[in-house]
Amino acid sequence: MSGRTPVQTRPPVVLSSFSSAPCLRDRLSDHLSTLFLTCHMGTRPAVVADFPSDEVGYLSGFRNTFSSEAIPGVLPQGQNSPLLCPYGLYAEQISGTSFTSPRELNQRTWFYRIKPSVTHEPFKARVPAHSKLLSEFNQSNSSATPTQLRWKPVEIPDSPTDFIDGLFTVCGAGSSSLRHGFAIHMYTANKSMEGCAFCNADGDFLVVPQKGRLWITTECGRLQVSPGEIVVLPQGFRFAVDLPDGPSRGYVAEIFGTHFQLPDLGPIGANGLAAPRHFLAPRAWFEEGNHPGYNIIQKFGGELFTAKQDFSPFNVVAWHGNYVPYKYDLNKFCPYNTVLFDHSDPSINTVLTAPTEKHGVALLDFVIFPPRWLVAEHTFRPPYYHRNCMSEYMGLIHGGYEAKADGFLPGGASLHISMTPHGPDTKTYEATIAQGNEAGPHKLTDTMAFMFESCLIPRVCPWALDSPAIDPDYYKCWIGLRSHFSAKD
Ligand SMILES: O=C(O)Cc1cc(O)ccc1O
Ligand SMILES: [Fe+2]
């Protein structure tokens, strides 16, 4: 993938004309990357040329402690908070866990930035308010329903809509203010965010783009995320989403009070599933100069607040720490499965898990159903019929899903809440039985479905239940299942 395609991304930044210190860009040393030079030499163009390519653009590893500097020598050595930081930068820490969290869980990052993020006018309720975001679920704002729910892909709007305006909550449980729970959102958007950055004070976003790439600028640097990849934007990070392809759609899981981890591998061993080195964090990248009227849009308690400032928040010249945004390519996942008989539980393909305090019980598991070989003998190979104490929200990135012959489309979704029965539709059942025991090895191709699975029971938002995308006939996909019973086998 080339990261060098010119595209309209961030709006122009007016370069500072009053700085008494030499401008940072005049102090670039020779070995700066071309990438950096493109963005920062000369008068800053209205077009930012490129986002990083996967080959060179990122730092690799899950939960590593990273260091990154856009100008060599900027990172203070030997301490976090020198009286004067190199190049006259401000030191600022972002804490993703309490100061006293155990060391193996503790997450924080130090930013070295041109101005600290506190330099803004007071937060005010955003006008117009966003009416379709929730971060606390109760009887007054959402419904509990045990029925099987399915949605067709939501239409992408014609009117100009950016990532923030196009985000809407589907369902969730718990509360961001009690630091326990989750929300599932979708977004449909068609234009880049302009003159503003988003900051989610409520929780971490795990974004699953289904259509259209997302070019995401964060305080740690920039990430290019394509459908088939996911990105985690942790609580409190400021970010802006550009849409180089225009119309875009995707899914978002938001978790309150915890962060994602890699699952333990148990008897699988030391390797397999998602490899730590395939998680990619951005390299330091910054914008310099004045930007009058820049808005920070903060989601706090599910409501949006805005604060004005006169500079871009993407002014971090160097950083170090282990609390970072990151992306992961689902095609790099190494799936495990049954090799002789029976159907493995879907937990076998967990990419990331957000734990609760109960061992083995997830606040939110992110599980995928990637292309893979099916080889099980004398086995009903599609997902079994089941009821689960956990709740299952599913989405489809591309292709088809093995349990549904039709009706579950890329960009669509389903929700099977705790103990609600579900499983393969009638067509899938009949076709599988028709193959008989002689089915040989078969490769599932052109598919990438996923599931957000939670121990909490989500309530569904009224606009999701009333949506024109809801499939009122979903239950009919099972109604045709006939009795094959015969008292004599
Ligand atoms: O319901 C679903 O389609 C998800 C799912 C898949 C599977 O292979 C086994 C159990 C399960 O819940
Ligand atoms: Fe299921």
Q: Please give the ipTM for the structure prediction.
A: 0.99
Q: Is 383 in the pocket of ligand 1 (CB under 6 A)?
A: yes
Distance 179 CA to ligand 2 centre (A): 27
Q: Is 204 in the pocket of ligand 1 (CB under 6 A)?
A: no
Question: 36 φ, ψ to 5°?
Answer: -65, -45
DSSP string, 412-434: -EEEE-TT--B---HHHHHHHHH
Between 14 and 352, the more confident residue is 352
- Print the domain residue range for 307: 24-330
Residue nearest atom 7 of ligand 1, based on CA coordinates: 383
Distance 349 CA to ligand 1 centre (A): 11
pTM: 0.92
Q: 320-337: string of b/e by CB count within 10 Å (b at 16+)?
A: bbbbbbbbbbbeebeeee
* pLDDT for res 40: 33
Which residues have CB under 8 Å from 33's CB, separation 6+?
Answer: 56
Using CA atoms, how far apart are residues 303 and 201, in angstroms rounded to an integer? 10
Residue nearest atom 6 of ligand 1, based on CA coordinates: 383
Q: Is 346 in the pocket of ligand 1 (CB under 6 A)?
A: yes
Q: Which of 130, 185, 291, 343 is catalytic?
A: 343
Please report the beta strands in 40-89, taking only residues with DSSP state E, as ranges in sequence order.
58-60, 66-69
Q: Is the domain of 294 the same as that of 351?
A: no
Residue 459 · residue 411 · CB < 8 Å: no
* pLDDT for res 489: 73
In a domain, 180, yes or no: yes
Say whether pLDDT at 20 is over 80.
no
Q: Is the domain of 177 the same as that of 113?
A: yes
In a domain, 450, yes or no: yes
Q: Is the domain of 413 the same as that of 289?
A: no
Q: Tell me: the pLDDT tens digits for 98-154?
A: 999 999 999 999 999 999 999 999 999 999 888 899 999 999 999 999 999 999 999
**What is the CB-side half-sphere exposure of residue 219 using CA atoms within 13 A?**
29
Using CA atoms, how far apart are residues 99 and 349, in angstroms rounded to an integer? 33
* pLDDT for res 128: 86
Which residues have CB under 8 Å from 246's CB, separation 6+?
Answer: 190, 191, 212
Residue nearest atom 1 of ligand 1, based on CA coordinates: 423
In a domain, 110, yes or no: yes
Question: 242 φ, ψ to 5°?
Answer: -105, 145
Q: Is the domain of 307 the same as that of 191?
A: yes
Give the residue from 19, 39, 167 showing the smallest Cα distance to 87. 19
Using CA atoms, how far apart are residues 427 and 406, in angstroms rounded to an integer? 8
Q: Is the domain of 269 the same as that of 324?
A: yes
Domain stops at, among 266, 301, 330: 330
Q: Is the domain of 363 the same as that of 279?
A: no
In a domain, 4, yes or no: no
Say whether pLDDT at 43 is over 50.
no
The mean per-residue pLDDT over the stretch 188-214 comes to 98
Residue count (the chain): 489
Q: Is the domain of 35 the same as that of 83?
A: yes
Domain stops at, among 330, 347, 381: 330
Q: Is the domain of 315 the same as that of 349?
A: no
The answer to which of 4-8, 274-278, 283-287, 288-292 has the lowest mean pLDDT is 4-8
Q: Is 415 in the pocket of ligand 1 (CB under 6 A)?
A: no
Residue 396 · residue 449 · CB < 8 Å: yes
In a domain, 12, yes or no: no
Return the percentage of the chain with pLDDT > 70, whole number. 89
Determine the residue of 451, 453, 454, 478 to mutate for testing ligand 1's pocket, defined as the one with the most ligand atoms within 8 A of the Cβ atom: 451
- Nearest atom of ligand 1 to the alpha carbon of 416: 1
Geometric angle at alpha carbon 12, from 10 and 16, rounded to 5°: 130
Q: Is the domain of 30 the same as that of 136?
A: yes
Residue 168 · residue 133 · CB < 8 Å: yes
* pLDDT for res 56: 62
Using CA atoms, how far apart are residues 196 and 136, in angstroms rounded to an integer? 25
Q: Tell me: the pLDDT tens digits for 459-481?
A: 999 999 999 999 999 999 999 99
The mean per-residue pLDDT over the stretch 33-44 comes to 31
Closest ligand to Cα 344: 1
* pLDDT for res 55: 54
Q: Is the domain of 217 the same as that of 249?
A: yes
Peptide bond into 128 cis (omega under 30): yes
Closest ligand to Cα 367: 1
In a domain, 150, yes or no: yes
Count CB-CB contacts under 10 A for residue 101.
13
* Cα distances (Å, whole numbers) of residue 51 to 11, 36, 40, 62, 312: 15, 10, 13, 21, 17
Using CA atoms, how far apart are residues 181 and 253, in angstroms rounded to an integer? 11
Residue nearest atom 8 of ligand 1, based on CA coordinates: 383
343 an active-site residue? yes
Distance 421 CA to ligand 1 centre (A): 11
Domain stops at, among 330, 353, 372: 330
* pLDDT for res 54: 66
* pLDDT for res 160: 97
DSSP β-bridge partners for residue 175: 136, 180
Q: Tell me: the pLDDT tens digits for 287-336?
A: 998 999 999 999 999 999 999 999 999 999 999 999 999 999 999 999 99
Whichever domain contains 352, its CATH number is 2.60.120.10
DSSP β-bridge partners for residue 149: 415
Structure tokens at 299: 């989601």
DSSP tally for the chain: helices H, then strands E: 4, 28
Burial (0-12, 13-18, 19+ Cβ within 10 Å), 378: exposed
Using CA atoms, how far apart are residues 381 and 440, in angstroms rounded to an integer? 11
Residue 410 · residue 153 · CB < 8 Å: yes
Count CB-CB contacts under 10 A for residue 22.
10
Determine the residue of 336, 345, 408, 420 to mutate for testing ligand 1's pocket, defined as the one with the most ligand atoms within 8 A of the Cβ atom: 345
The answer to which of 20-29, 273-282, 456-465 has the lowest mean pLDDT is 20-29
Q: Is the domain of 356 the same as that of 304?
A: no
The mean per-residue pLDDT over the stretch 277-292 comes to 96
- Which residue is it, tokens 């606040």? 363
Distance 435 CA to ligand 1 centre (A): 21
In a domain, 19, yes or no: no
Question: 436 φ, ψ to 5°?
Answer: 70, -170
Count CB-CB contacts under 10 A for residue 164.
20
Distance 391 CA to ligand 1 centre (A): 11
Using CA atoms, how far apart are residues 311 and 443, in angstroms rounded to an integer? 52
Q: Is the domain of 175 the same as that of 300?
A: yes
Distance 149 CA to ligand 2 centre (A): 12
Give the residue from 216, 336, 177 showing the smallest Cα distance to 266. 336
Using CA atoms, how far apart are residues 375 and 353, in angstroms rounded to an integer? 27
Using CA atoms, how far apart are residues 283 and 115, in angstroms rounded to an integer? 19
> Into how many domains does the chain fold?
2
Q: Is 403 in the pocket of ligand 1 (CB under 6 A)?
A: yes
Specify binding-site residues for homogentisate: 401, 422
- Tell me if residue 452 falls in helix, strand or coil: strand
